[in-house]
Structure 1
C-alpha cells in the first residue's frame, strides 16, 4: 500500500473484511481454548507496543479470551524469538515482527534462533512508519542537496546516527546514501535520547526517524526536518518536501511491522487469525492510536507480506555485500 488509503476508506475496507469473516463458517472451532500471547520485541509504552496492545484489546472482545502482550525487547528482535521453536503451532502464541526481524537479521546473523522461511508463517502487515531526514536545529546543512554536497566533497566527513547496526534507521539511511552514491560515517547509539542530543548539538550531522518520534524536538527547534522519504508529502506536514523534491534520490523509507505465527499452524486456523486481526485493525480506536504513534495501518494478505519481506531483503542484500551494513 505505497499510496495508502484514506482513513475512511481504510476503516470501511477492513470493516468489510471483518464482516465477511463473521458470515463465513468458523475456520477453527474452539479457538482460542485459552489465553493468546502476542510477543512484542519492543519495550512497554513505545509506539509498536501501543498498537499491539490496542489490537490485543479488540481480539479479546472478539475471542472472549485474554490476549496478553509479552514484551521481549533486545538485539533487534532476536530476544523475542529465542523460544520460538519450543512454541506449539496452535495459534496461541503470535509474534509481532518487523523489518529487522524478517528482512534484515537473516542477512546479518548466521546463528539466529529462528529461520524466517522454515519457522514462521506470515499473517498480515500491521502498520508502517514514514521516516524524515533530520539535522540539528543550527546545522549548517540547510537542505538535502547541501548535505549531499558536503558528503561528496569529503567522504566520511558527514556523519549519521542510528540505533545500532541493522536497525531500521541505519538500513534506511544507508539505502538513501547508496542511492545518492555517498559514504557517510555511521555513529551507532544504544539510546534514542543520546542519539537525538548528539544530532541536536551537531556532534553528528543527521539521522532519520518518524516525525511523531521527534515531534517535541522539532517543535522546540532542536531538530530540523529536511525532507520526507516518501513518494508524496505528509498530509500532517505538507511543508516538508520529498527527498526527490529536495535534491536527493527518490528513496522511500517505510519501516513496518507485521504479525506472524509458528509454522505448522493448521491452515484453517491461519485463515481465521488473519481475518480476525484484519478486522481488529479496522476498528477506529486501533487506527487512531496508530496514527497518534506516527503509524499508518496497513493490513494485507499473507502473500503481500511475503512479497514485502522478499522486496526488503533484496534491498538490504547489496548494503551488506558492500559493507554499508556490517554482518554479525
Structure 2
C-alpha cells in the first residue's frame, strides 16, 4: 500500500532530478571536452521501442537530422521489452560523455516512479532530460457499428452497468490505463481493464466488437480508423487535432471538461554526469531538428504534436505531469513489484 511519506520522498527526488533541466548553469562533471569538438565519434540513441512503430520512426528522423548536423553517425539502438528497463539498463552501462543518449517515454519519468516498489533506475542519479521530441494525444475509439456516439454515451452506460464495461490496453500504467482510471475517478465509474500482449491485438479486438471501446493515438489506432474499422468518438485533448479534425474533444462529446487530457510524450535524455555545454548543444540541435517543416508533416501523419518547450518549461511540464499521475496512481492503488 502506498504511503504519503514515500510519495513525498519520490516527488522531492524528481524535483531534484529536474533542476539541471531548468538551470543551464548547474554544476556538471567536465570530461575534458568542449561542445565545439563534440561528438568525436558515432552517437547512439537507445530506444525502448521496437522497430517499425511511430516512436521509432520519429527517433530515426531525429537521428538522421542530427547525423547531418554533427557530421557523425547517430544510430538508433532499439532495445524493446521489459517496460523499457532493457533500454534503460543499456543506457546506464553506456558512455557518460553524451555519445550514448536515450529516448524516454512519459511513463518512465512521470508514472513508474510512483508505481513500482523497486525501479531498476533512479531518475535522480541516472538521467538528465535534455530535450522534448513529441506529444501524442489519445482518441477514444469504438467499433464502427457501436451504439456509442459520444463519451457521454459511454459514461451513461458505465454508470448503468458498474463493473461490466471493459476497455483494453497493453500494460499496467501506460497512458491509456491511467487515462481511463482518471476518467473513472472524475465520473464515478467502475471499468474493467483487459490486458493485451500488443497494440495490434488490442485494436483488432475493438474493431471486431470483442471489446466495446479503448483509447489510442492517430499512430496506433489511426490505420484502422482510416480503414473504416474503428470509429473515433472523441480526442482527450484541449482542442481538435489535424489528423482527424472532425473528431470532437472529450469536453465537446459529453465528457469531463478541461483539464482532462490523455497523452504520451517522448524526450531525449543523457547521463547525469554530462557536461553542461554539450547538453546545451544537444538541446539546441534537437529543438532545431524538431522544428523542421518535414518533421511537422510527420507529426500530422502520426497524430503527434510538437512539444517545443525551453528548459524551464520542460521541467515545469514534467513536474506537473508527475503530480497528476501520482494522484491517479495513488487513488487507484496501482502498485507493482
Is the TM value for this pair above 0.5?
yes
In 2, Cα distance between equivalents of 1:249 and 1:324: 22
Q: Aligned to 2:173, what secondary structure does the other structure show?
A: coil
Structure 1 SS opposite 2:252 = coil
1:201-212 counterparts in 2 under 5 A? 201-212=208-219
1:103 corresponds to which residue? Answer: 110
Residue 27 of structure 1: how far off its partner (Å): 5.6
How far residue 140 of structure 1 moved from its aligned partner, in angstroms, is 2.5
1:179 Cα deviation after fit: 2.0
2:121 paired residue among 110, 114, 117: 114
Cα displacement (A) at 1:62: 1.1
SS in 2 for 1:193: helix
Alignment CA distance shift 1:219-1:324 (3 Å):
farther
Q: Indicate the residue corresponding to 1:233 in structure 2.
A: 240
* Deviations, residues 21-80 of structure 1 (Å, cap 9, x unaligned): xxxxx9613200111000111111110111111111111111111101000111222221
Matching residue within 66, 85, 90 for 1:83: 90
Q: CA–CA distance in 2 between the matches of 1:236 and 1:293?
A: 8
Matched, 1:92 2:99: yes
Q: CA separation in 2, counterparts of 1:278 and 1:78?
A: 26
Counterpart check, 1:292 vs 2:301: yes
Q: Is it true that 1:62 corresponds to 2:69 in the alignment?
A: yes
Residue 280 (1) aligns with residue 289 (2): yes
1:326, distance to aligned residue in structure 2 (A): 4.0
Aligned partners of 2:200, 2:244: CA distance in 1, in Å? 23
CA displacement at 1:214 relative to structure 2: 2.2
Match of residue 135 from structure 1: 142
Task: Give the secondary-structure state (helix, strand or coil) at the position aligned to 2:221.
Answer: helix
With structure 2 as the length reference, what TM-score do the two structures score? Answer: 0.85
Match of 1:5 in 2: none
For 2:321, what is the secondary structure of its paired residue?
A: helix
Inter-CA distance 294–235: structure 2 relative to 1 (3 Å threshold): closer
In the other structure, the counterpart of 1:155 is: 162
Q: CA shift at 1:279, angstroms?
A: 1.4
- Aligned-pair CA distance for 1:248: 0.5
Aligned to 1:52: 59
Give the secondary-structure state (helix, strand or coil) at the position aligned to 2:220.
Answer: helix
Counterparts of 1:217 and 1:83, CA distance in 2 = 34
The change in CA–CA distance for 1:103 and 1:222 in structure 2 (over 3 A counts) is same
Q: Structure 1 residues 237 and 116, CA, compared in 2 at 3 Å: closer, same or farther? A: same
1:220/1:272 CA distance change after superposition, 3 Å: closer
Specify the alignment match of 1:306 in structure 2. 315
Structure 2 unaligned blocks of 5 or more: 1-32
Instruction: Give the corresponding residue for 1:323.
Output: 332
Distance 1:227 1:188 in 2: 22
Number of aligned residue pairs: 303
* Corresponding residue to 1:177 among 184, 187, 190: 184
Deviations for 1:53-108, whole angstroms, at most 9, x for unmatched residues? 11111111111111010001112222210133322320111111111111111112
| TM-score, normalising length: structure 1 | 0.87
1:160 and 1:275 mapped to 2: Cα distance?
40
Q: Aligned in 2, Cα 1:279/1:182: closer, same or farther, shift over 3 Å?
A: same
Residue number among 259, 272, 287 corresponding to 1:263 in the alignment: 272
> What are structure 1's unaligned runs of at least 5 residues?
1-25
* Matches of 2:131 and 2:51, distance apart in 1: 22
Q: Which runs of 4+ in 1 moved over 3 A?
A: none
Secondary structure in 1 aligned to 2:145?
coil
- CA-to-aligned-CA distance 1:220-270 (integer Å, 9 cap, x gap): 332111111111122342321111111100211121111111001111111
Q: Check the 8 A contact 2:111/2:173 in 1, yes or no.
A: yes
